[in-house]
Amino acid sequence: MPSLEYFLVAESVSVDRDSGSLSVFHVTEDLVFGDLPGNIPRLVAVSSWRIAPDEIGKDFQATLKVHKPWHEANPQYEEFPINFTAERLRHRINHWIVNLHVKQPCDLRFEILLNGEHKASHIVTCRKPTDQD
């Protein structure tokens, strides 16, 4: 099974058309909201996978889960699956999330799974401003 090289959440990315190199902008760890509930206009979850030579041509599914802890007893999440066929020794996936609604201060957990198996998490703290901001 492909192995995860890295996983992170950011505001945006850009891929150079000529070289294919990735630029990641504003890695997201902490979001400050003046008012809650609120919306996060756009985020991208980037995962990079290392493919073994014997996995070329095989199909996989990378799923992003966004865990929303609005109710401690029954946390909710959204799933964003992307199917892909391994065509080279590295494969990068950008999961775009648009207009993510945040109800209250919390830690949003972004989880990446491959074929249903947990591979990594990235926490984004959503909070109101403090005196230090």
For residue 37, what are its two tokens? 């509930």
Token pair of 59, please?
């199909």
Q: How many helices (H) and strands (E) does the chain have?
A: 0, 9
Q: How far apart are CA 111 and CA 118, in angstroms?
A: 7
Token pair recorded at residue 124 = 């984004």
pLDDT value for 131: 67
| Residue that is written with structure tokens 């891929």 in the block | 15
pTM score: 0.90
Residue 107 tokens, joined: 């830690």
Is the bond preceding residue 41 a cis peptide, omega within 30 degrees? no
Domains and CATH numbers, the chain: 3-15+22-127 (2.60.40.10)
Mean pLDDT of the chain: 93
pLDDT digits (tens, 9 = 90+) for 85-128: 999 999 999 999 999 999 999 999 999 999 999 999 999 999 99
Position 130 scores a pLDDT of 80
Cβ proximity of 93 and 62 under 8 Å: yes
